[in-house]
């Protein structure tokens, strides 16, 4: 599922940020969305990063999928404006936050979710892994193990939040939740099949694949993200 060529060659600023606290990345996203809503024709943006251990809940997520008291959570716990249930982020998991104006692509949330799945499927293919979709569910699985989770928020067709690909994270944190509210499907990581997988190389592959799927030209961002935040 690749974007129609008529939409190709739009510019996309790429921020490759390393390990970033969740709250900081969240503020970056909100600032970028505000700016994009004010400038609909501006370049697209993709943030690729990793987070210290953190749990996040979707806007309507139930606390029943937590296996701990939220008042004494083992790591930070945030309720966000994205869709979906609870998930876990930690080092070794590559997170992508696209800030896109879907009016310039296809203003269709189901289409957008399938495109994000396609980014991870094509990335897995580069490493010899077959990524599968499961009808009725969002995300990507390898041999029945969920390796990519997706949760988005769209405001006036401008996107935030995005996808998370498990490259070589410590999966223990997932044992404290029902990941994405799906109790009968285990979580996996690329390292389960490729023990020496390099997250830095996967990050590069993700960026290249994202640009290809969405028909974008990636460019290094012209300024630091910290400059986007109000003082």
Residue 36 falls within a domain, yes or no?
yes
Domain membership flag for residue 167: yes
Q: Is a pLDDT exceeding 60 seen at residue 98?
A: yes
Mean pLDDT of 10-36: 95
pLDDT at residue 226, as a whole number: 56
Residue 227 lies in a domain: no
Which of 12, 17, 90, 180 is catalytic? The answer is: 180
- Structural domain tally of the chain? 1
Q: Is residue 230 part of a domain?
A: no
Query: Is residue 25 over pLDDT 80?
Result: yes
The answer on pLDDT for 231 being more than 50 is: no
Mean pLDDT of the chain: 92
Domain that holds residue 105: 5-221
Is residue 231 one of the residues assigned to a domain? no
In sequence order, which residues have a C-beta less than 8 Å from that of residue 45 and are 6 or more positions away? 12, 13, 14, 15, 32, 36, 98, 99, 100, 221
- The per-residue pLDDT for 221 is 81
Strand partners, 96: 48, 163
User: What is the rounded CA–CA span in Å between residue 15 and residue 19?
Assistant: 12
CATH code, 46:
3.30.930.10
17 as an active site residue: the answer is no
Please state which of the ranges 111-115, 116-120, 122-126, 184-188 shows the lowest mean pLDDT: 184-188
Q: Which range is least confidently modeled, 65-74, 89-98, 154-163, 174-183?
A: 174-183
The answer to the question of residue 226 being in a domain is no
Q: Does residue 229 lie in a domain region? A: no
Residue 43 has pLDDT above 70, yes or no: yes
137 within a domain of the structure (yes/no): yes
């Amino acid at each position: 599922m690749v974007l129609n060529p008529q939409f190709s060659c739009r510019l996309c600023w790429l921020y490759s940020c390393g390990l970033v606290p969740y709250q900081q990345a969240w503020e970056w996203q909100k600032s970028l969305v505000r700016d994009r809503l004010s400038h609909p024709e501006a370049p697209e943006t993709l943030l690729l990063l990793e987070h210290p251990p953190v749990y996040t809940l979707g806007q309507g997520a139930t606390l029943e999928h937590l296996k701990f008291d939220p008042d004494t959570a083992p790591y930070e716990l945030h309720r966000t404006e994205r869709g979906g249930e609870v998930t876990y982020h930690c080092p070794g998991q590559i997170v992508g936050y696209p800030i896109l104006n879907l009016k310039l692509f296809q203003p269709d949330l189901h289409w957008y979710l399938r495109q994000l799945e396609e980014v991870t499927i094509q990335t897995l293919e580069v490493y010899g892994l077959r990524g599968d979709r499961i009808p009725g569910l969002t995300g990507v699985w390898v041999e029945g193990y969920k390796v990519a989770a997706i949760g988005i928020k769209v405001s006036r067709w401008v996107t935030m939040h995005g996808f998370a690909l498990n490259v070589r994270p410590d999966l223990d944190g997932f044992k404290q939740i029902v990941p994405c509210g799906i109790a009968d499907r285990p979580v996996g990581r690329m390292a389960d099949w490729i023990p020496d997988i390099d997250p830095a190389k996967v990050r590069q592959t993700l960026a290249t694949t994202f640009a290809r799927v969405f028909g974008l030209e990636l460019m290094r961002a012209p300024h630091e993200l910290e400059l986007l935040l109000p003082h």
